Amino acid sequence: GETIHVTGLLTGTDIGRTIKHTPFYDQYLLPGNCIRKWDERFLDDITLPQMREQTGKVITPVLGGALDFVETILEKAIGREHA
């Protein structure tokens, strides 16, 4: 449908596998529509806290569009939290 985006179809298993195979970064930013807002679950029912525990990485979903994504990166770089 018109409200479904490709990034909303990414599973926690796939994302977790990718993070484990590219462990070079200390933080990973994900499109916010990868998880359900009300329970922080991915399409395959893995929760965001489970993924953080399994990978040992800081994983941050970014809600909004490209501008929000860039703002989050810049704010993390200077130590501020995105509103």
pLDDT tens digits, 9-32: 789 999 999 999 988 888 898 888
pTM, two decimals, is 0.72
The residue ranges of DSSP E strands in the chain, in sequence order, are 27-31, 58-62
16 C-beta neighbours (distance < 10 Å), count:
20
pLDDT score of 41 more than 60: yes
CB 55 within 8 A of CB 21: no
Q: What pLDDT, on the 0 to 100 scale, is given for residue 45?
A: 94
Q: What pLDDT, on the 0 to 100 scale, is given for residue 42?
A: 93
Average pLDDT over the chain, rounded to whole?
83
CA distances from 55 to 19, 42, 68, 82 (A): 7, 15, 24, 23
Summarize the confidence of residues 48-60 as an average pLDDT.
93
As given in the structure block, the two tokens for residue 2 are 């018109």
